[in-house]
Amino acid sequence: MGTGAFYSADVLEPGADWRLLVTDRFLGAFGPSTSVSTMSTLWRIAADDALGLDALVGAIPSRGVAAVDSFAIAALGRVATFVVRGGGCADVSVGGRVRRVDARGSEPWYVAELTGVERFQLGPLQRSPGDLTRQARDLPIDGGVVFGPWLGWSSEAAAAPRSAPTPVQQPAQPPLSSFDPHDTNVLGDLGRRAASLRRHRGEPPATAPTPETESATAFRLGDRAPERVDAPVYVGRQPRSPRVTGGVLPRLVRVDSPSREVSATHIELRPTREGLVLTDLESTNGTVVRQPGTGVRRLESGESLPVVPGTLIDIGDGNVIEILAYR
Amino acid sequence: MTEIGSSSGPRRIALPAGAGAVVLSWGTATDVGHRRQVNEDSYIAVPPIFAVADGMGGHAAGDLASDAVVTRLRGAAKDGFVTPAAIGLALAQASHDITRLDGTALTGAGTTVTGVALTMSDDDPYFAVFNVGDSRVYRWFDGEFEQVTVDHSVVQELVDAGAITRSQAETHPDSNVITRAVGFNEPPMPDYWMLPIEPGVRMLACSDGLTKEIGEDRIQALVAAGSPPEATAQALVQEALAAGGRDNVTVVIVDVVDVETAR
C-alpha cells in the first residue's frame, strides 16, 4: 500500500520550483522562497512520529528573512486538516465536488478540516486543478522531498495494492542537494522508504521481514472493522489518556462491560517500530493473552508484552481484541 | 482582559454524527485583584471550548497576549466540537499574533493557557484538556478531586526531581517562573489529556491567582459544595480576594449535566 501521493515532474509547468514533501502522515507544498535548511527542518519534524501537525506548522518561519510566504499542507486522517498560507492552496474533492481551500489573506495561515476527502492537490494558486485524478505521466511518491508544480493525493491510490514495481524513471530535476538521495526517492517501495528513514535517524538497517515475522500494526475489537495503530490506543469501559506532549493524540476505544469486569482504562496498545506493545494498566481483573504457539497467559498488573499478529487479548465481559498485520 | 462567552444554564450540544448529545452548564468569574492595575487574564466559555489564559508582559502586552489566545481558540471551534489538532494550530496562530504585537520586541509577551474542549474519539465524546504554563485544570467526580494538568514551572520541575516537596513548592521564591508559554517567540508545546465525559463530572479551569491564594482543600470544598457553576466560580474568586487578591484571578467551571449516547 502506498501513501497515495503523486506529483508532476514536468519542469516546464509553471510552479515547478515548489518544494513537495511527503511522509505517511503529511503532504506539503512550499513556495520557491523556502530555503533548503527550512525544508530540512520540516522534513525532520514530519518524519518524527511523535510530533503532530502543530509542531510542523509551528516550525515554519512566518516572518524575517527565512519567512515562507506560501505553502499548503495536508495532514492525513479520518479528518483531513489543510493549512494554507499566501499563494498556496489546496483543491479538495469531497463527495465528487472540488472546492478550493485558500488563505485569502488570513494571517498567519488558514485552517480547514474536512471529512470524506477523496482526492486533493496542493500547490500554487495560479493553477487549474482539473479533476484531480492521477494521469499516466504523473509519478507516485512514497516519501521524501522533490521539486514539482503540485502534489496530488487520492484515496484510491492509497488503498490500491502495490503490484510489480513500475519502471523507475529518473526525476526530471535533481533532488534538493542537501538531502540523502535515498530519502528523495521517487518510486521506492515502503521497505526502501523505511530504510531511508532509518538512515535518516541514524539507525542500523533492519533485516527484511519474512512473512512469518511480520510485525503487528493493527487490531480488531470483536466484530468491528480492523484499525491501524499509529498512535497509542487506550481501551476500557470509560477510557482516559495519560499526559501527552508533542501533538499526536491517543485513540480512546470504549467497550461495553455490563458486569464491570473491564476496568475504566484497561489496556494500552503502543506502536513501536518493531510492532505493537500491549500493557495492562493495572486493571482490576487482569488481561488474558493467547499468543500463537505459546498458549494462554495472564498479564501481571502493569505488565507489558510485545504482541505478534494472531494474538488474542481478553479484557473481560466478552471483549476480545485480535492483533493483526495491516497491509 | 477579554471575556468570550458567559455563564449558562444547561445547554444541549448535539454530537457531530447526530447520535446523541452532551448537556453542559457552565459559569465564569474574574477579578483584577487588590494589587494589580490591569486584569491580564482572559477566558473563553463557549462550547466546545472553555479556557483561561494568564497574560505576561510589560505595558499591557500580557493583556493582548491572553486576548490573542482566546480569540484564536474561538476561531478553532467548528460544529460544536473541536479536534485537538485544531487547538494546537490555534495556539500556534496565537503565538504568531503575539510576536507581531507592537512594543514587545525588548521584553517579549506571552501567556499561559489551559482549558477543556469537547472532542470526539471513536464516535464517543471526550474532554480534551490542554495546558501550556501554570494555570490549572481540576476535575471533580464521584467524590474525587484531582489536578489534571501538570504545571510547566521551575518549581514543578524541582518537585518532579524530588528536590522539594509539594508544600515547599507553594512558598518557593521561584513559584512564578514558568517553563512554557504561548508567545515569547517560541512555538507552543501544549500537553493534552483525554478524559471521559460522564454525568456528574465538574471541570475547573483557573489562573494561578486562585491556586497561589487559597489551598487545594479550600478549592475542593467549594467545588464540592454543590452550588451551580456560576455561583461556585464567584465564591472561589471571592475567597481568593479575601485571602489577599495579589494577582488577577479567573475561574471557569463546566458541569456535565447529562450524556445521551446511542450505544
B196: CB partners within 8 A, 6+ apart: A238, A239, A240, A264, B126, B127
**Minimal C-alpha gap between A296 and chain B (Å):** 29
Q: How far apart, in whole angstroms, are the C-alpha atoms of residue B159 and residue B152? A: 12
Assign a CATH topology to domain A214-324. Answer: Tumour Suppressor Smad4 (2.60.200)
Convert the pLDDT of each residue in A84-124 to its tens digit. Answer: 999 999 999 999 899 999 999 888 899 999 989 999 999 99
A chain contacts of residue B263, beta-carbon cutoff 8 Å: 256
Nearest-CB residue to B93 (from A59, A108, A251): A108
Nearest residue of A to residue B94, measured between CA atoms: A108
Q: What is the mean pLDDT of chain A?
A: 82
B37: CB partners within 8 A, 6+ apart: none
What CATH number is associated with residue B134?
3.60.40.10
**Residue ranges of B 103-122 with Cβ closer than 8 A to chain A:** 121-122
**Closest listed residue to residue B30, CA positions, set B207, B243, B148, B202:** B207
A chain contacts of residue B85, beta-carbon cutoff 8 Å: 52-54, 75, 79, 81, 113, 247, 249
**Closest listed residue to residue B211, CA positions, set B240, B253, B176:** B240
What per-residue confidence (pLDDT) applies to B108?
Answer: 82
Q: How far apart, in whole angstroms, are the C-alpha atoms of residue B246 and residue B249? A: 9
A114, A82 Cβ separation under 8 angstroms: yes
- Cell output for B226: 454543590
pLDDT (average), residues A23-42:
94
Size of interface A-B (CB pairs under 8 A): 98
What per-residue confidence (pLDDT) applies to B105?
Answer: 59
What per-residue confidence (pLDDT) applies to A196?
Answer: 43
Assign a CATH topology to domain A5-200. Answer: Phosphatase 2c; domain 1 (3.60.40)
Q: Which residues pair with B115 in a beta bridge?
A: B51, B130
A311, A216 Cβ separation under 8 angstroms: yes
What per-residue confidence (pLDDT) applies to B78?
Answer: 67
In chain B, the number of structural domains is 1
Q: What is the mean pLDDT of chain B?
A: 91
What per-residue confidence (pLDDT) applies to A227?
Answer: 87
Phi, psi at residue A238, to the nearest 5°? Answer: -150, 70
Residue A212 has pLDDT above 80, yes or no: no
Nearest-CB residue to B85 (from A58, A81, A250): A81
B122–A254 C-beta distance less than 8 A: yes
pLDDT band at B186 (very low <50, low <70, confident <90, very high): confident
Structural domain containing residue B162: 3-261
A165, A34 Cβ separation under 8 angstroms: no
pLDDT (average), residues A213-233:
87
Q: Where are the beta strands (DSSP E) in chain B?
A: 3-4, 8-14, 20-31, 41-46, 49-56, 110-111, 113-121, 124-132, 136-141, 144-147, 182-183, 191-196, 202-206, 249-261
A chain contacts of residue B152, beta-carbon cutoff 8 Å: none
A307, A276 Cβ separation under 8 angstroms: yes
Residue A210 has pLDDT above 50, yes or no: no
pLDDT (average), residues B241-254:
96
Q: How far apart, in whole angstroms, are the C-alpha atoms of residue A308 and residue A286? A: 20
B115, B149 Cβ separation under 8 angstroms: no
Q: How far apart, in whole angstroms, are the C-alpha atoms of residue B229 and residue B202? A: 9
**Minimal C-alpha gap between A136 and chain B (Å):** 35
Q: How far apart, in whole angstroms, are the C-alpha atoms of residue A205 and residue A21? A: 23
Query: Is A111 in a helix, a strand, or coil?
Result: strand
Buried residues in A246-256 as b, exposed as e (16+ CB within 10 A): bbbbbbbbbbe
Q: Where are the beta strands (DSSP E) in A103-206?
A: 110-115, 117-124, 139-140, 144-147, 151-154
pLDDT band at B59 (very low <50, low <70, confident <90, very high): low
B100–A63 C-beta distance less than 8 A: yes
Instruction: Kindly state the helix (H) or strand (E) to which residue A273 belongs, with its residue range.
Output: none
Convert the pLDDT of each residue in A120-176 to its tens digit. Answer: 999 999 988 777 888 888 999 999 999 999 999 998 877 765 443 333 333 333 333
Cis before B48? omega within 30: yes
Its pTM surpasses 0.90:
no
A50, A249 Cβ separation under 8 angstroms: no
Q: What angle do CA A283, A289, A292 make, to 5 degrees?
A: 165
A79–B83 C-beta distance less than 8 A: yes
What per-residue confidence (pLDDT) applies to A207?
Answer: 42
| Cα dist from A205 to A198, A201, A322, B34, whole Å | 7, 11, 29, 64
**Minimal C-alpha gap between A56 and chain B (Å):** 10
- Domain segments of chain A as ranges: 5-200, 214-324
**Minimal C-alpha gap between A145 and chain B (Å):** 23
Highest mean pLDDT among A7-16, A35-44, B50-59, B175-184: A35-44
A chain contacts of residue B15, beta-carbon cutoff 8 Å: none
Q: Which residues of A touch B (CB under 8 A)?
A: 52-55, 57-59, 62-63, 75, 79, 81, 83, 107-109, 111, 113, 234, 238-247, 249-254, 256, 264
Asked if B59 reaches chain A (Cβ–Cβ under 8 Å), the answer is no
B chain contacts of residue A248, beta-carbon cutoff 8 Å: none
Q: Which residue has the cell 471575556?
A: B3
